[in-house]
Amino acid sequence: MPEPLGAQEIQALLDDDTVLLAYTLSHERSYLWLVERHSIRGFCLAPRAQIETLAERYYSLLTRPSQDPELVRRQAAEGRDLARELLGPIAARLGRRRLVFLLDGKLNAVPFGTLPDPSFPDDREAPPLLANHEISYLPSASVLPVLRQRLAKPEWIPRTVAVFADAVYNRDDDHLPIGEPGSTSLGAWDFSPLPGSGREADAILDLVDRVASLSVRGFDATRETLLKTDFSRYRIVHLAVHGVLDENPWFSRLVLSEYNQRGQRHNGGVMLHDIYQLDIPVDLVVLSACDTARGKEVRGEGIVGLPRGFLYAGAARVVVSLWKVDDDATAELMKSFYREMLVEGRPPAAALRAAQLNLRRRPGWETPRYWAGFVLQGAW
């Protein structure tokens, strides 16, 4: 693990267009530290229990699969309450700068980009924070120098992508696999096909050098193939597969193909401990799967989960999801995200912001459940 950084060392990593917002939740009162290149300010906030209750209510409303007007109204109201508590004290200090969040406790599940921009006098009319700010997240400030160093890869490595998608989750793609009665949590899941992942992969590969890139799909998209791949040849790794969040974070996993061409079932799970053993020295890992951002808070270690595993394995950044994402919306978001990166030349955090705002403008996908589920962790 990197050594903790002092305040001045953290400030030296920021430019004038970037603000680090670090939250610490505790029993009697919580704290927000606003860190800029040339100044640090601290603010007292409400106790942990009050803030986490607001965060839980907001998250619950965000993730409900409904566009009922009353639900949307309640969602907006809860977002305003949470924004007043978390962003109100610094409303006049943000400008339109990049925001980097360092979160604590249940705030790790909150997509801050959906909260109303606190700089607007009437928060009922305020656009989401993402409309005026590029947003990214860090597991800790001390990892930033390490992540920045990883971006200095040799120039000869082309801007190529390794894509795993369109995995096989049942014998005939017409029904779901179900674990045997009495089996452990490792086998007690059923998985639906992800038809959108194939379209997603095609759209990405259309933007890159297919000869120099890697496409692993269908029966070939197995656990064994992933674990044996030499990722040092690629800039980006894209995994459009199922994700499973387990109460025990070490059992959280990505799930690749579970059936071979003979209809025989095999283990498709790539566990967190498998990921820690990988060598993935890439600019970006995209986990286009459900619940991949979440994990379990372990005292003294922070959030243990899939994003941390990929950062440990060598990635400079990861794009991950905060909830069970819609397959069609995800496919459209990813197409736009990669076009913003590979055609428009935007850095990943800026590209994700542009793609999410694009999706938000499309009829039927205006609510945050569709456009806000993915966040970027790591170097921006």
Q: Where is pLDDT greater, at 226 or 305?
A: 226
pLDDT given for residue 153 in this prediction: 64
pLDDT given for residue 168 in this prediction: 94
Helices marked H in the chain — which ranges?
7-12, 48-62, 69-86, 144-150, 195-205, 223-228, 272-276, 306-312, 327-342, 348-360, 368-371
User: Which segment, 82-91, 164-173, 289-298, is predicted with the most confidence on average?
Assistant: 82-91
Nearest to 242 by CA among 294, 204, 287, 205: 287
- For residues 188-204, give the mean pLDDT: 83
In the block, tokens 């692993």 appear at 216
Instruction: State the CB neighbour count (10 A cutoff) for residue 266.
Output: 12
Q: Where is pLDDT greater, at 180 or 89?
A: 89
d(CA 116, CA 107): 16
Residue 35: phi and psi, rounded to 5, are: -110, 120
pLDDT confidence tier of residue 279, bands split at 50, 70 and 90: very high
pLDDT for 247 beyond 80: yes
Specify the range with the lowest mean pLDDT, choosing from 210-224, 288-302, 353-367: 288-302
pLDDT given for residue 169 in this prediction: 92
Give the DSSP H/E element, type plus range, for residue 157. none
Report residue 116 as tokens: 């109303």
Count CA within 13 A, CB hemisphere, residue 197: 28
d(CA 48, CA 32): 12
Specify the range with the lowest mean pLDDT, choosing from 8-22, 169-183, 266-280: 169-183
CATH 1.10.260 fits 149-378, yes or no: no
Could you report the per-residue pLDDT of 157-172, keeping only the tens digit for each?
Answer: 666 899 999 999 987 6
pLDDT confidence tier of residue 113, bands split at 50, 70 and 90: very high
d(CA 112, CA 135): 8
pLDDT for 292 beyond 50: yes
Q: Residue 163 pairs with which residues in a beta bridge?
A: 215, 238
pLDDT for 297 beyond 80: no
> How much is the mean pLDDT over the chain?
90
Residue 264: phi and psi, rounded to 5, are: -90, 135
pLDDT given for residue 157 in this prediction: 62
Q: Please state, for a pLDDT cut of 70, what percent of the chain lies above it.
A: 91
Instruction: State the CB neighbour count (10 A cutoff) for residue 39.
Output: 9
d(CA 164, CA 90): 42
Delimit the domains of the chain by residue range: 7-133, 149-378
d(CA 271, CA 249): 9
Question: Are the C-beta atoms of 161 and 236 separated by less than 8 Å?
Answer: yes
Give the DSSP H/E element, type plus range, for residue 245. none
Question: Are the C-beta atoms of 32 and 89 separated by less than 8 Å?
Answer: yes
* 218 torsion bin: left (phi>0), alpha (psi -120 to 50), beta (else): left
pLDDT confidence tier of residue 300, bands split at 50, 70 and 90: low
